[in-house]
């Protein structure tokens, strides 16, 4: 496993649409493991492959609960319910935080890393993370969705 370089604000790849994954092979498994390790190193909740320079429809999410990381390959949001204002940040936009409107619940379908198609009903932070990361796969970043006047820059030690 390895820490991958994060693509940061201003990198053109972040505005590109990611391609469907056709085969789940050893190379993809290495990418997934690297993405999880990279996300954990930077204390992220989610990471899309495009954020490490790979235009594949792969995202990893970890709520740091007892369930461990979730791997979503070719995710599709089927339904959304409700809407609320949430605080959001992004590993590709370090130290920037803002308020964004996100669904309270989502139903998504994806392929897991073993090739099985799975449906998930997610609420709150998991729903927010799925939406945020699926946006990345579409070439959208949270900075395009922020509520006016809510952007904050937070210095880190």
Kindly list the catalytic residues. Answer: 133
Q: Judging by beta carbons within 10 Å of its beta carbon (0-12, 13-18, 19+), is residue 26 exposed, middle or buried? A: exposed
Could you identify the residue written with the tokens 């599709």?
76
Specify the pairing of strand 58-61 against strand 70-81. antiparallel
To the nearest 10°, report the CA torsion of 141, 67, 86, 137. 20
Residue 55 contacts residue 15 (beta carbons within 8 Å): no
Residue 102 contacts residue 19 (beta carbons within 8 Å): no
């Amino acid at each position: 496993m390895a820490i991958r370089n994060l693509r940061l604000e201003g990198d053109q790849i972040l505005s590109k649409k990611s391609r469907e994954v056709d085969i789940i092979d050893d190379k993809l498994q290495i990418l997934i493991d690297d993405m999880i390790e990279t996300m954990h190193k930077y204390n992220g909740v989610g990471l899309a492959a495009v954020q490490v320079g790979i235009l594949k429809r792969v995202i990893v999410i970890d709520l740091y609960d007892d369930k461990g990381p979730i791997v979503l390959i070719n995710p599709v949001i089927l339904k959304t319910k409700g809407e609320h204002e949430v605080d959001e940040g992004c590993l590709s936009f370090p130290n920037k935080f803002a308020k964004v409107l996100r669904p309270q619940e989502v139903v998504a379908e994806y392929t897991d890393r073993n090739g099985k198609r799975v449906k998930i009903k997610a609420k709150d932070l998991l729903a927010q993370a799925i939406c945020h990361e699926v946006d990345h796969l579409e070439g959208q970043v949270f900075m395009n969705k922020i509520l006016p006047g809510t952007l904050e820059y937070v210095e880190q030690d």
